[in-house]
A and B are shown apart, each in its own frame.
Chain A
């Protein structure tokens, strides 16, 4: 399989501030890659560099094997969808979709054919002669997608396309984008700060922070085996529980306060004995029980019980560490009750306190 996008050693500085640092990224043909990260991590900046809307400081960008590092945005074979839709207000839906084709001097009948096809795919036919102001938010974003679609390009770039929509529309359009991808099989690069979008849409997710890709992997891999503490904490809601302690007994157990947790069955590399380590446990990988099991449970005190509909979230204190556990909603727990948390060590992660990397 050839790579659709290759980014080599890309660096971008704004004055003295380094925004993207020596970045490398390969996106396979037909792949859906999501760039995910907190605001200011450089994900949108990277997308703008791919589109040619920002001049990079150093490095190279290839799209379909062609070096486009200094090519104009329109000459890169990309289509782009923006957060604010960016529809030209004075043009009709049809005018918006055909503007790029007119600039590229595509013959008239060809323009009509492509607009008609895009309108059919996105169910925009009845809206073609309306102005953007007469459309709802969801319709506008579909027009914006249509504008990228008519360009007949292999690479689609999405810059937080759903962030301006309300929750219901967002999930509808999310499904629509996924359907579009499975129908068209284009390469898609999608920027978002919403982890649900990332987890549901992506073939691979690139989690970014500070202009650096922290981890690039399939969603399940990122969720279950976060490569470092940042990724572990960023993905998942509520966030992963972190217990600060040490690995003991030649790496066979984790010491947390008075409690020892047996590490047999841990999926990861060899664990050495470390004076300091962090045990990461997702709320759904813990179960609450009344009786302790040596090497398998952690004692804790219930603080608050939050029923959330489908299930319920229990906040507890283990020593001075606050923890959360997801439990079936039928089970109500009174505050102050002493319980024991059973650890599923096969789904746990251990991090080195100094390097913050998973071991």
Chain B
């Protein structure tokens, strides 16, 4: 009996395998199974209940000819681009300021980070109140004598996304700052010494030396922010409910509406499959860079 007894091998570490059952169930049934199930039923004409009557890409054609969906996509693209740029710029600038051996660093960090502990619902409702045209910022500035002052992003379809942006940045930039700061602190102190010896101005050091060295942190921030943007839901529901009109609708709201309110499951499935697709577009290049590169070198 030279080779290992096969039966014995299966039952070795049995406890470990039993303990891993919840994980196996979650990955196989919910994550893989659930995703495939939804993609599969997005090709049917399921209405109130899922049914296997296949209609090919009909749901997708209907999806893309629906102005609600097209607006949602335009909104998320605009909001996403603005949000990414501002998150990264603000996060980095704040982190660089925090890294100047300042006093009260802990206090500053505590203040910048506390919104991240709050839910998007709370965030949305507070900013809805502050941006209230009749009693909020606009009202106060007009009271001060500047009667022509106009700042009412929430009730104008052209600017409502900026209102969401102000709230979203308020909630999330503190966290980006913390990530960036940990990246800055991870840079070898000797680099700063070398830069100083070479007489390179601080701003140049940041742009040409430090930022390139922080590439992994930037990628992490980018991926996290992008994943969060695609899921954007609670904030919009609380702050604008998608209005005025449909001017601040987002894909996640579309999915919810068709799956649970309009009882048109096929549309909901098609829309959520499109969301999955967009995540994969972000995720696959990142996974390739992060893990594929490592294997080769």
- Neighbouring A residues of B19 by C-beta, 8 Å: none
Of B2-10, B51-59, B172-180, B244-252, the one touching chain A: B2-10
B12 near A: Cβ within 8 Å? yes
Is residue A344 contacting chain B, with contact meaning CB distance below 8 A? no
Q: How far is the CB of B4 from chain A (nearest CB, A)?
A: 7
Contact status A55-B4, CB under 8 Å: yes
Determine the distance from Cα of A55 to Cα of B13 in the docked complex, in whole angstroms. Answer: 11
Question: A residues within 8 A CB of B5?
Answer: 70
Least CB separation from A56: chain B residue? B4
Q: Are B8 and A70 in contact (CB-based, < 8 A)?
A: yes
Distance of B17 from chain A, by nearest CB (Å): 14
Give the shortest distance, in Å, between A92 (CB) and chain B (any CB): 28
Q: Is the CB of B12 within 8 A of A58?
A: no
Nearest A residue to B2, CB-CB = A58
CA distance A70 to B3 in the complex (A): 11
Whether the pair A60, B8 counts as a contact (CB closer than 8 A) is no
Bound-complex Cα distance A16 to B293 (A): 22
Is A267 on the interface with B (CB-CB < 8 A)? Answer: no
> What 0/1 readout, one digit per residue, does chain A (24-68) give for beta carbons within 8 Å of chain B?
000000000000000000000000000000011111100000000
**Closest residue of A by beta carbon distance from B9:** A55
Which residue of B1, B4, B12 contacts A57 across the interface (Cβ within 8 Å)?
B4
A203 at the interface (CB under 8 A from B): no
- State whether B2 touches A9 (Cβ < 8 A): yes
In the complex, which residue of chain B has the Cβ closest to the Cβ of A8? B2
Bound CA–CA A55/B2 (angstroms):
14
Report chain A residues within 8 Å CB of B1.
60
Contact A70 B4 (CB under 8 A): yes
Interface size of A by Cβ–Cβ distance < 8 Å?
9
Bound CA span A51–B2, Å: 19
A56 neighbours in B (Cβ, 8 Å) = 4
Task: Find out whether the CB atom of B2 lies under 8 angstroms from the CB atom of A59.
Answer: yes
Which B residues are CB-close (under 8 A) to A59?
A: 2
**Complex-state Cα separation, A70 to B1, whole angstroms:** 12
Inside 8 A of B4's CB, which chain A residues have their CB? 55-58, 69-70
In the bound assembly, the distance between CA atoms of A57 and B4 in angstroms comes to 7
Distance to closest chain A CB from B9 (angstroms): 8
Interface 1/0s, chain A 162-194, versus B by CB < 8 A? 000000000000000000000000000000000
A56 CA to B1 CA, complexed, in Å: 13
In the bound complex, do residue B12 and residue A55 qualify as a contact, i.e. CB atoms below 8 Å apart?
A: yes
Q: What is the bound-complex CA distance between A59 and B3, given in angstroms?
A: 7
Closest approach, in angstroms, between the C-beta of A340 and any C-beta of chain B? 51
Instruction: Please name all residues of chain B whose beta carbon is closer than 8 Å to the beta carbon of A69 when the two chains form the complex.
Output: 4
Chain A contacts for B8, CB-based, 8 A: 70
From residue A336, how far is it (CB to closest CB) to chain B in Å? 42
- A60 touching B2, Cβ below 8 Å: yes
**A9 cross-chain contacts in B, Cβ below 8 A:** 2
Residues on A with C-beta less than 8 A from B12 are 55, 70
Proximity bits, B1-36, A CB within 8 Å = 1, else 0: 111110011001000000000000000000000000
| Minimum C-beta distance from A70 to chain B (A) | 6
Which residues of chain B (117-162) have a CB below 8 Å from chain A? none
Which residue of A has the minimal Cβ distance to B12?
Answer: A55
Question: How distant is A82 from chain B, measured CB to nearest CB, in Å?
Answer: 21
Q: Which residues of A contact B2 (CB under 8 A)?
A: 9, 58-60
Least CB distance from A52 to B in Å reads 11
Chain B's nearest CB lies how many Å from the CB of A53? 12
Q: How far is B1's CA from A60's CA once the two chains are assembled, in angstroms?
A: 9
From residue 195 to 212 of chain B, which have CB atoms closer than 8 A to chain A? none
| Shortest Cβ distance from A9 into B: residue | B2
User: A117 to B129, alpha carbons, bound, how many Å?
Assistant: 75
- Residues in chain B near residue A57, CB distance under 8 A: 4
Give Cα A271–Cα B1 distance, bound, in whole angstroms: 43
Question: Could you tell me the distance in whole angstroms from the C-beta of A14 to the nearest C-beta in chain B?
Answer: 15
A55 to B9, CA, bound (A): 9
Q: Say how far B99's CB is from chain A's closest CB, in angstroms.
A: 33
- Report the bound CA distance from A244 to B1 in whole Å: 47
Q: State in angstroms the CA–CA spacing of A62 and B245 once bound together.
A: 79
**Least Cβ–Cβ distance between B203 and chain A, in angstroms:** 46
Q: How near does chain A come to B2, taking the closest CB pair, in angstroms?
A: 6
- Cβ-closest chain B residue relative to A72: B12
Q: Mark A3-23, 1 if CB is under 8 A from B, else 0.
A: 000000100000000000000
Cα A132 to Cα B4 in complex, Å, equals 39
Interfacial chain B residues near A70, Cβ < 8 Å: 4-5, 8, 12
Nearest-CB distance from B11 to chain A (Å)? Answer: 11
User: What is the chain A residue whose CB lies nearest that of B3?
Assistant: A58
* Complex alpha-carbon distance, A57 and B12, angstroms: 14
Q: How far is the CB of A12 from chain B (nearest CB, A)?
A: 11
Alpha-carbon distance between A57 and B3 when the two chains are bound, in angstroms:
7
Shortest Cβ gap from A150 to chain B (Å): 26
Instruction: Please measure, in the bound complex, the distance between the C-alpha atom of A58 and the C-alpha atom of B5, giving whole angstroms.
Output: 10
Q: Which residue of A lies closest to B5 (CB)?
A: A70
A55 → chain B, closest Cβ, in Å? 7
Alpha-carbon distance between A55 and B12 when the two chains are bound, in angstroms: 10
Q: How far is the CA of A58 from the CA of B3 in the complex (A)?
A: 5
Tell me the complex Cα distance, A56–B4, Å.
8
A55 to B8 CA separation, bound complex (whole angstroms):
12
Where the two chains meet, the residues of A that have a C-beta atom closer than 8 Å to any C-beta of B are 9, 55-60, 69-70
Given contacts A9-B2, A60-B1, 13 further A-B contacts (CB under 8 A): A55-B9, A55-B12, A56-B4, A57-B4, A58-B2, A58-B3, A58-B4, A59-B2, A60-B2, A69-B4, A70-B4, A70-B8, A70-B12
A-B contact pairs, 10 of them (CB 8 A): A9-B2, A55-B4, A56-B4, A57-B4, A60-B2, A69-B4, A70-B4, A70-B5, A70-B8, A70-B12
Listed from nearest, the 8 A-B pairs whose CB atoms lie closest are: A58-B3, A58-B2, A70-B8, A9-B2, A59-B2, A70-B5, A70-B4, A55-B4
